[in-house]
Structures are given as C-alpha cells and as structure tokens.
Amino acid sequence: MVDADQTFVIVGGGLAGAKAAETLRAEGFTGRVILICDERDHPYERPPLSKGYLLGKEERDSVFVHQPAWYAQNDIELHLGQTVDAVDRAARTVRFGEDGTVVRYDKLLLATGAEPRRLDIPGTDLAGVHHLRRLAHAERLKGVLAALGRDNGHIVIAGAGWIGLEVAAAAREYGAEVTVVEPEPTPLHGVLGPELGELFGELHREHGVRFHFGARLTEIVGQDGMVLAARTDDGEEHLAHDVLAAIGAAPRTGLAEAAGLEIARREHGGGVLVDEQLRTSDPDIYAAGDVASFPHALFGARLRVEHWANALNGGPAAARAMLGRDLTYDRVPYFFSDQYDLGMEYSGWAPPGAYDEVVVRGDAHKREFIAFWMKDHRVLAGMNVNVWDVTEQIQRLIRTGAQVDTEALADPHVPLQSLGA
C-alpha cells in the first residue's frame, strides 16, 4: 500500500529518472519524491547532443525534459550537482552531497546511466581529446567543430558507431576535415552487420569523411598540451587538431556493486541485474535506463539497451512497478539517427550471429528502403531509412514472431500490414 508517508528516491538525473518522477506524480503518488542528479544542469535528453544541438539547429533549452519550475510545481525534491556515494540496504538509506546528507527510502530507483569508455593510450590528457556524453561535452565540442571548420582543421574520431558517425556528419557540416578510425571492417558492424554497415561508409565518403578500418589508436601525439596527430596500431599517423573517443559506453554500476546488488554478466551487457519488473536483487530497489540489464521474453535474452526510447519507457515502467503495479517491461528496442540527408529508425534486436538473412525492401542505393533481419523467416529487427510511419508495422512483425514470406516482404507493393497476420 502506497501512502503519503512513503519516500521514493531516484538516483540519476537523465531521461529515465526524470520520467520516473513525472510518472509517480501522474499515477497519484503523494509521498516524497527525491531526485538526485550528479550534474548541475536540470535533467535533459541526450539525442540532441550529437544531433540538432551539436549542429546548432536546436536551442540549449530544447534539450531539457521539463522546465526548471516543473519540479517545484510537482513537489519533486531536486538535488543538482550532488553525488550519491553510498546506499545502505539494511537501513534503507542513501548518502549524498559534500555534507553527507542521509535520507531514508521506501523504494529506490537507480537510473545512473552509463559513461563513455576511455582510450587507454598515451596522450589522452591533451586539451584536444574529447568525449560526448553530457551537455557540457556537447557545448565544448560544438565550439571545437565550428573552430575546426573555420580553420580547415582536422578531427580524428575513434569509433564508427552511432555517436562517431553523427559527430562526423556534424563536423563535415561545419566544414572540418574528418578521419574515422575503426577496428571493424565497416561502420556500425556490430549493429547492422557487413550487409548494411557499408552503406553508411559510402554515405560518409560522399561527404568527404576518410575511414581507416581494421585499426585502433595507439597514441595521440601533442606539443605544448595540444593535439598534433593520432597514431594507429598499423603504423599510420593522421593529422589531428582534436580527437573524439567514441568507443562506446559502460554502465555506471559502481553504486549498485558497492551496495551488494547483483550485476549482469558481461555477455549480457553488464549493468544492474533486474527482473521483468525492473526490480533488482533487492525487492525495494529498481533500476532503469542504460544501467539496467533486463530479461526480454520476446528475444529470449537478457538485454541492456543504451538508447533514448529505453530511458523514455523504462523510467515510467520502473515507477509503476515501485507503486506495486503488475507489469512486464518488454518494449521492443528502438533508436533513430540523422546523418546528412539520411534519417533512419531501427526496431528490434539482431546481434551478429542471431540472424540468417537480411531482406531489403526498396532501393538501398537510393537510401530509401526498409531492411529486415530474419531468422527462420521471422523478423528480429527492422530499419527504415528515409521511409516513414512504418515503425508500428515493423514492431508488429517482430512481436508476432510469425513466419513471413521473404519475397512478399521485399516487395514494396505488398502492404506491410498484410504480412505475418
């Protein structure tokens, strides 16, 4: 039974934490809601950091989940720039801030997110080495790209994943010279596989990006604290005035580990282990967003999903579970990307080795198509490129798990909604 005497604490001021706080109030919870953020900015959404805001097409204020006044209006106790350094499960307390404030919780949500992986090579202490995860990172990088564009400067990007490619596109739009270093043979190799990863390689080459595949950075060379070049393990050296490390993100599990909560295995993405209700190994503690590893019945696997939609949906799901609602968190993973004139959406989960065929519907050369990753004639994932308003239909094919005729699936004249019925 939830009542006004209870206190719910949320650790993490990203989208998942902010949406969880919003949902608690929307669902009628009248107790204390305490939201603790280690950043000084109000909770914000991360996609604009590598898209519209980085490109200067969106204002800074557009990234925030709520207007600053919303928190006080909804009686959310918001603590900005405060780090939680301990969870005492026996006492059901959290300790945070420089003064060691201790608050007791009835339910606790960990929405601590992820942090960018660091390059473990010489030269990362130079002034021109960047990461992109936080609003402050985007603000700094925005100025850097604009300056590189004015001065015909060069940026080397380590990693051809989504962040690396989106920043590469932004850098080219500013006029900067771009080299992307990637150990795999194509961009997005681990997500899209070789079948479609090369399509993104062609897109970026057309816009002047240089790729160096099959290599890793081994050293960033500098002088007087500034970057001069980046070296790779095959002996190449690339001129660089700045370097971006875009080599993935690691779940921020330190607080959960110190509290003795169960952590998922590496093959399951790491992260805090939760059940289908996003409940951890402690029944009074939940986890959502980038940090949570949850079982997904549809795919028969445990997933840790770092994308926007998982935070958007996972935070509210955890809030409802904290209120005692009966639910199963099984949203189909979804993300989107914008690069130059290419817009795409991806639904599902189809890691390398999970699928046996990729079916393309439309014209991949014109970059106007839908791709389906298949296993035994069943759709595991779908990506629509410059084709819109089909996400619901793609996700229905994934959810039903029905066998689909691949020739009909590839034929744009056959309505998607008629397949897998």
Sign of torsion, CA 184 331 62 250?
Answer: negative
What pLDDT does residue 250 have?
95
Cα 376 off chain centre by: 29
- Total domains in the chain come to 3
In a domain, 2, yes or no: no
Residue 133 domain boundaries:
129-247
12: left (phi over 0), alpha (psi -120 to 50) or beta: left
In a domain, 294, yes or no: yes
Instruction: State the pTM of this model.
Output: 0.95
What pLDDT does residue 2 have?
52
What pLDDT does residue 3 have?
67
Task: List, in order, residues 6 or more apart from 245 with CB less than 8 Å away.
Answer: 116, 117, 118, 119, 124, 129, 130, 131, 158, 159
What residue type is 161 in one-letter code? Answer: G
In a domain, 137, yes or no: yes
97 and 133 in a single domain? The answer is: no
What pLDDT does residue 388 have?
96
Residue 119 near residue 140, CB atoms below 8 Å: no
Domain boundary among 187, 212, 247: 247
Closest CA to 252 of 348, 167, 350, 134: 134
In a domain, 336, yes or no: no
In a domain, 59, yes or no: yes
Closest CA to 294 of 316, 312, 268: 268
How, if at all, do strands 76-79 and 226-232 pair? unpaired
104 and 34 in a single domain? The answer is: yes
Give me the percent of the chain exceeding a pLDDT of 90: 94
pLDDT one-digit tens code per residue, 24-83: 999 999 999 999 999 999 999 999 999 999 999 999 999 999 999 999 999 999 999 999
Residue whose token pair is 């960990």: 110
99 and 139 in a single domain? The answer is: no
pLDDT at 123 over 70: yes
Q: What's the CA gap between 348 and 409, in Å, rounded?
A: 17
In a domain, 120, yes or no: no
205 and 261 in a single domain? The answer is: no
Q: What's the CA gap between 242 and 404, in Å, rounded?
A: 48
What pLDDT does residue 389 have?
96
End-to-end CA distance of the chain: 42
Residue whose token pair is 């993104």: 200
CATH of the domain at 148: 3.50.50.60
What pLDDT does residue 249 have?
94
Residue 98 near residue 74, CB atoms below 8 Å: no
pLDDT one-digit tens code per residue, 314-371: 999 999 999 999 999 999 999 999 999 999 999 999 988 889 999 999 999 899 999 9
310 and 201 in a single domain? The answer is: no
CA atoms within 13 A on the CB side of 212: 20
137 and 90 in a single domain? The answer is: no
110 and 255 in a single domain? The answer is: yes
136 and 236 in a single domain? The answer is: yes
What pLDDT does residue 342 have?
96
Cα 52 off chain centre by: 16
What pLDDT does residue 1 have?
45
In a domain, 331, yes or no: no
Mean per-residue pLDDT over the chain, rounded: 95
355 and 295 in a single domain? The answer is: no
Task: For residue 291, give the DSSP letter.
Answer: G
pLDDT one-digit tens code per residue, 268-308: 789 999 999 999 999 999 999 999 999 998 998 999 999 99
pLDDT one-digit tens code per residue, 189-236: 989 988 799 999 999 999 999 999 999 999 999 999 999 999 999 999
111 and 160 in a single domain? The answer is: no
62 and 152 in a single domain? The answer is: no
In a domain, 124, yes or no: no
CATH of the domain at 394: 3.30.390.30
What pLDDT does residue 160 have?
97
25: left (phi over 0), alpha (psi -120 to 50) or beta: alpha
What residue type is 80 in one-letter code? Answer: L
Sign of torsion, CA 264 267 271 273?
Answer: negative
139 and 156 in a single domain? The answer is: yes
